[in-house]
Amino acid sequence: MPSASSATTNLIPSVIAKHRDALLDDWVREQLGASSRSGSIKESDLRRQCAEFLKLLREASDGGDPSNLDGDRWQSLKEMLGNISRTRGAQGFTPTETATFVFSLKKPLFTRLLRELGGNAEAVAEETWKATEILDALGLYTTEVFQKARDSLIARQQEEMLELSTPVVKVWDGILALPMIGTLDSTRTQVVMETLLQSIVETGSQIAIIDITGVPTVDTLIAQHLLKTVSAAKLMGADCIISGIRPQIAQTIVHLGIDLGSVTTRATLADALKEGLRRLGTELRALPGREA
């Protein structure tokens, strides 16, 4: 009967060594039985992952301090778990389902620990505790990785949405329109400013219409950003027209004492387009021979 071990050693490596195949079978069976997504992962793949995990767990726990998973010994195991977590997350598994991969090893492992330590209740309690510590930490780790992957996906999607929501459209030769939709914040307005100015250069457009029909409210900060955009465009040699100023926004602008200065404004995008055409010296006429 093995004697009580020290704080950093534990019986996991020897249990895995001794009972590997049976342990593996039991563990795989636990997961196939419990999981609702068991159909999404082939048994052969699951078996392979479990075998890999057991191998790495054996190596890591052999001398590895179970209270500190940041140590070097645990890195390979963590890396493997990280990959599993990310892959499963992408496949649509919930974080709990992924963590169960680790937690479902407890029962088969404890069963064998009990068998190894026979009637030594104290040793059983101690070894079970150490094993629990390790498996709990590893299970939680999969959740952490899952969370991080989710966060960076959201960040990427936000960026894409930002780009999609500020399209710059050419409405005529030399006239660009930027229909702004939704609430504006500092970051978004800056992105808008830069995108618009870049488009002005790329298309050689002299007129840029910024339409704020779809913007529910304008505050002092947003107004300042818009004014800066207009000033910058002017420095570059282009003129901005702000259209879509609803009565409520007009009132807000007056209330806040925002001075639009010499910025040209129009009620609708159509009006702004007419003004833009006029400035470029273009006139629209009906085709000859057409009835009104």
Partner 1 sequence: MEHIPILRMGAFLLVTIQVDMHDQLAMTLQDDLTERIRKTGARGVLIDISSVDVVDSFIGRMLAGIATMSRLLNAETVVVGMQPAVAITLVELGLPLQGICTALDVERGMDKLRAAIARA
Whether the CB-CB separation of 169 and 177 falls below 8 Å is answered with yes
Binding to partner 1 (CB under 8 A) within 210-269 occurs at: 228, 231-238
Smallest gap from residue 205 Cβ to partner 1 (A): 8
Binding of residue 189 to partner 1 (CB under 8 A):
no
Whose Cβ is closer to partner 1: residue 91's or residue 220's? Answer: 220
Q: In whole angstroms, what is the distance from residue 273 CA to residue 108 CA? A: 74
> By CB under 8 A, is residue 292 in contact with partner 1?
no
The correct pick among 7, 153, 201, 221 for binding partner 1 (CB under 8 A) is 201
- Report CA dihedral (132, 133, 135, 136) to the nearest 10 degrees: 100
Q: Does 200 bind partner 1 (CB under 8 A)?
A: yes
Closest by Cα among 7, 14, 6 to 117: 14
Residue choice 85, 104, 206, 265 for contact with partner 1 (CB under 8 A): 206
Q: How many CB atoms lie within 10 A of CB 155?
A: 9
The Cα-based distances of 73 to 85, 122, 139, 257 in angstroms read 20, 27, 17, 64
Single out the segment in contact with partner 1 by CB under 8 A; choices: 97-105, 112-120, 150-158, 194-202. 194-202
Size, binding site for partner 1 by CB under 8 A: 17
Angle between helices 121-164 and 75-91 (to 10 degrees): 50
Among the candidate windows 19-27, 198-206, 243-251, 260-268, which touches partner 1 by CB under 8 A? Answer: 198-206
HSE toward the beta carbon, residue 188, CA cutoff 13 A: 18
Interacting residues with partner 1 (CB under 8 A)? 193-194, 197-198, 200-201, 204, 206, 228, 231-238
